[in-house]
């Protein structure tokens, strides 16, 4: 009853704030807004920025920049810079056009009173064939010829206003075709039937092992993104068939790109929601630089302690970026983040933490992660640039489970750090040929300590106790790649690549060919295809549990992808894509012996359908449906089974309506087939003790998973600041989605199956953000 009362109190307070605030005079309508009127100091702002060639990063001269619907615009100077003054306060679509380039469009550009909104545009060159008709319109679905298949991008506004996301970028990505969430409380990504550990994550060109609070490398749980969408310029997501510049992962690539701070004005944002409260600031620095910085403190521990829940998860994070342009050819960006996570769960009568036959265990967990990197971009003449990144990444985590008398019956203490250096030359050889050449090296340090008392599982399997320490000498990974994109004629592009990886720890050398193609069948219809070999080395934490694991080879996957895209208009597109992944040398871990082998194999295949509508006003949304099968085999002579991430049917409906600058209403519905699990089919008595008997591996499924989320946004414009409030309600009809069964057995051998009530049925989230 306590949970129900809290839920309705929060919903009631949110409804009062959203509906009644205008009557209280909190928000004001500024003259000179999007609807015209006299211009006052705080009713107008400015747009300023730079336009460059997307491939060469060269500034573009005499480019037209237009604020749609206002009659206002500007032209870039010889440095590619522009400024548009006296723009009424509001949210706009901005278009950028130049002869020989595809038309660029950006939605939801917010102009604040008395300040300058800074933007950076990158335009894609257009290859023109004589006599060929060219479609010229504002296109929200630009085709990147280097990434012809399985490629999606998200802007900051799309991430921030997505229903059911709590402004978490990973929860937004879960709405994309081919992606499934683990459950309501989990932000990890299950991409085309693959394990979350198979996804590569990049932060400003730095490879990082994780980007989620309470997530661990190789783990299947994760709380909330370390980086807030308010700090991001955009994210890029490839769910398969990715090109040669990406490696050491077999499922997907996710890259976060931070926005730059303003070069003219200081601004401050304060944000409060269930995920935490944060303060961010950006603005100019002495000497022509810019800065962007954010710090956030989670509030889960405050909420759980207030509600009497015996779990105290707490976290902090800090993210920053400093950028300097040194002359017209050099740009330096210092980027980084830091986060500590702590979790304490005290065992009680309602929440008995368990490890095998040990019950009533307290859990203590502490994680720390950091990354610091320097990006140097150097323009080489008019047709290319070099991007060099030097970085240091560190992760550590400790876990202990025990009782008051013996607090460390089971646990681990692990630290991993990497020093990374990589450099890429991007050269446009002609209007039809672009080449990338890259080299990279990573030095890896690791300390691994794990221990456990002996135990007997619920099915009667004895697991001896152990204490393992694995502190190998520093090792390294190194390699190179070459990638070429050729446009033999304007309606076709071919991207081919070759990647070489060497891993000193195992002595492995791998060569990975990649191939991608895009062919425009008509002005609005494109055929895409991709093929590639992908490898993933065993992480040192996987190696550490047993001496024999040091001989593990890389797991392997071969991707085949083909699809069609059709553009109904500049803001509406439909796509269909089929994929097949052939898996070999898959890691198979035996928990009783702690040994891992490469005996696994399998495949994943599916068909994805996506209909999407983008624009800055009115109705927007998407429909994503995936039919997929993910199958594994743990040995050549063993039977196939459905992997734990197999969900044949996934359907996501997302929509939002924006009638004005003040209001936005959205909803998301998600449906998925239940995940497979290994059922308990009976019991047996051994030496007077009853144990469960398990059936065929993953031969049963949990009930189908579905939920509806609704979000309402309301903004209030003041003279020199803006307040935004939102109510995001997860699982509106309070369905209990089952993702776990627990089993108990009594003295007669009777087995009872129960559903843990671990998560609330409905979660209302109230968020406030103030921008100054």
Strand-pair category, 44-53 with 116-123: parallel
Give the model confidence (pLDDT) of 667-696 as tens digits.
Answer: 999 999 999 999 999 999 888 888 889 999
Q: Which residues contact 600 (CB under 8 A, 6 or more apart)?
A: 555, 583, 585, 586, 587, 588, 632, 633, 634, 635
State the maximum Cα–Cα separation within the chain, in Å, rounded to a whole number.
Answer: 90
Find residue 255's DSSP bridge partners.
202, 236
Q: What pLDDT, on the 0 to 100 scale, is given for residue 303?
A: 66
Q: So what's the pLDDT on residue 137?
A: 60
Length of the chain: 772
CA neighbor of 222 nearest in space, from 188, 176, 268, 193: 188
SS3 148: coil
Q: Which residues pair with 235 in a beta bridge?
A: 154, 256
Give rounded-to-5 percent helix, strand, coil for the chain.
5, 55, 35
Helices (H) and strands (E) in the chain, counts: 5, 48
- In degrees and rounded to multiples of 5, residue 193 shows phi and psi of 75, 10
Q: Taking the C-alpha atoms of 272, 273, 274 and 279 in order, what is their torsion angle to the nearest 10 degrees? A: -40
Q: What is the pLDDT of residue 162?
A: 87
Query: Among candidates 511, 509, 504, 505, which has minimal Cα distance to 534?
Result: 511
Q: What is the pTM for the complete model shown?
A: 0.86
Burial letters 445-458, b for 16+ CB under 10 A, else e: bbbbbbbbbebeeb
* Whole-number Å distance between alpha carbons of 476 and 503: 6
Three-state SS annotation for 589-644: EECCCCEEEEEEEEEEEEEEEEEEECCCCEEEEEEEEEEEEEEEECCCCCCCEECC
CB-based contacts of 381, cutoff 8 Å, min separation 6:
none
Q: Can you give the pLDDT at residue 557?
A: 97
Which run of H or of E encompasses 375? strand 362-380
User: How many angstroms from the chain centroid is the CA of residue 516?
Assistant: 23
Model pLDDT, residue 11: 39
State residue 314's pLDDT score.
86
At residue 231, the 3 state secondary structure works out as helix
Strands (E), 381-472: 384-402, 410-430, 433-452, 455-456, 462-463, 466-470
In this structure, what is the dihedral angle of CA atoms 269, 275, 276, 279, given to the nearest 10 degrees?
Answer: -20
Residues of the chain under the 50 pLDDT cut: 1-40, 349-356
Buried b (16+ CB within 10 A) or exposed e, 383-421: bbbebbbebbbbbbbebbbbeeeeeebbbbbbbbbbbbe
């Amino acid at each position: 009853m306590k949970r129900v009362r809290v839920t309705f109190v929060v919903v009631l307070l949110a409804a009062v704030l959203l509906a009644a605030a205008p009557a209280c005079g909190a928000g004001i309508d500024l003259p000179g807004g999007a609807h015209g009127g006299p211009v006052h100091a705080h009713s107008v702002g400015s747009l300023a920025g730079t336009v460059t060639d997307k491939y060469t990063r060269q500034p573009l001269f005499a480019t037209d920049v237009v604020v749609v619907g206002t009659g206002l615009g500007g032209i870039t100077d010889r440095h590619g810079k522009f400024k548009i003054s006296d723009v009424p306060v509001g949210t706009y679509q901005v278009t950028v056009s130049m002869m020989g380039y595809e038309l660029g469009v950006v939605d939801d550009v917010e102009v604040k009173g008395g300040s300058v909104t800074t933007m950076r545009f990158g335009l894609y060159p257009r290859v023109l064939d004589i006599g060929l008709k060219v479609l010229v319109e504002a296109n929200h679905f630009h085709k990147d010829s280097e990434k012809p298949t399985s490629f999606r991008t998200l802007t900051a506004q799309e991430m921030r206003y997505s229903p059911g996301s709590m402004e978490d970028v990973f929860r937004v990505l879960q709405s994309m075709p081919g992606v499934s969430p683990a459950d309501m409380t989990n932000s990890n990504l299950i991409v085309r039937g693959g394990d979350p550990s198979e996804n590569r994550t990049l932060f400003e060109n730095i490879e990082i092992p994780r980007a989620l609070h309470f997530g661990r490398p190789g783990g299947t749980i994760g709380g909330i993104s370390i980086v807030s969408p308010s700090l991001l310029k955009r994210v890029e997501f490839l769910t398969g068939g990715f090109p040669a510049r990406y490696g050491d992962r077999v499922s997907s690539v996710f890259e976060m790109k931070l926005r730059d701070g303003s070069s003219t004005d200081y601004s401050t944002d304060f944000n409060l929601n269930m995920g935490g409260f944060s303060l961010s600031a950006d603005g100019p620095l002495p000497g022509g630089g810019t800065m962007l910085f954010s710090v956030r403190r989670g509030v889960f521990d405050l909420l759980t302690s207030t509600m009497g829940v015996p779990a105290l998860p707490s976290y902090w994070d800090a993210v920053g970026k400093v950028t300097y342009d040194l002359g017209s050819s050099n740009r330096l960006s210092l980027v980084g983040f830091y986060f500590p996570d702590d979790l304490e769960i005290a065992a009680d009568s309602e929440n008995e933490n368990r490890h095998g036959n040990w019950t009533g265990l307290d859990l203590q967990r502490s994680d720390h992660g950091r990354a610091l990197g320097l990006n140097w971009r150097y323009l080489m003449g008019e047709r290319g640039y070099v991007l060099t990144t030097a970085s240091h990444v560190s992760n550590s985590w400790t876990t202990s489970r025990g009782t008051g008398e013996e607090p460390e019956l089971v646990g681990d203490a692990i630290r991993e750090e990497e020093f990374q250096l990589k450099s890429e030359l991007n050269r446009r050889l002609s209007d039809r040929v672009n080449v990338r050449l890259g080299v990279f090296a990573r030095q890896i340090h690791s300390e691994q300590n794990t221990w456990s008392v002996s135990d007997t599982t619920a099915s009667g399997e004895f697991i001896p106790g152990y204490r393992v320490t694995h502190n190998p000498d520093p090792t390294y990974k190194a390699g190179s790649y070459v990638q070429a994109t050729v446009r033999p004629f304007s309606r076709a592009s071919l991207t081919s690549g070759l990647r070489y990886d060497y891993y000193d720890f195992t002595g492995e050398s791998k060569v990975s060919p990649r191939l991608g193609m895009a062919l425009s069948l008509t002005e609005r219809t494109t055929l895409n295809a991709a093929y590639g070999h992908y490898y993933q080395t065993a992480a040192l934490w996987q190696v550490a549990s047993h001496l024999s694991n040091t001989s593990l080879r890389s797991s392997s996957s071969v991707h085949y992808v083909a699809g069609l895209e059709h553009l109904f208009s500049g803001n509406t597109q439909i796509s269909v894509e089929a994929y097949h992944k052939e898996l070999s040398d898959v890691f198979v871990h035996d928990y009783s012996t702690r040994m891992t082998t490469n005996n696994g194999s399998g495949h994943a295949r599916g068909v994805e359908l996506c209909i999407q509508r983008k624009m800055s006003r009115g109705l927007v949304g998407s429909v994503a449906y995936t039919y997929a099968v993910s199958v594994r085999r743990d040995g050549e002579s063993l039977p196939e089974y459905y992997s734990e991430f197999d969900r044949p049917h996934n359907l996501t409906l997302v929509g939002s309506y924006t009638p004005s600058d003040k209001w936005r209403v959205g909803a998301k519905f998600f449906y998925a087939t239940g995940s497979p699990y290994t059922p308990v089919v009976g019991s047996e008595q051994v030496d007077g003790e009853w144990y469960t008997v398990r059936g065929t591996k993953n031969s049963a499924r949990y009930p189908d998973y579905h939920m509806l989320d609704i979000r309402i946004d309301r903004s209030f414009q003041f003279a020199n600041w803006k307040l935004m409030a939102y109510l995001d309600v997860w699982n509106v009809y309070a369905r209990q989605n089952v993702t776990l069964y627990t089993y108990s057995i009594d003295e007669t051998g009777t087995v009872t199956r129960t559903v843990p009530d671990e998560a609330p049925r409905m979660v209302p989230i109230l968020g406030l953000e103030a921008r100054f």
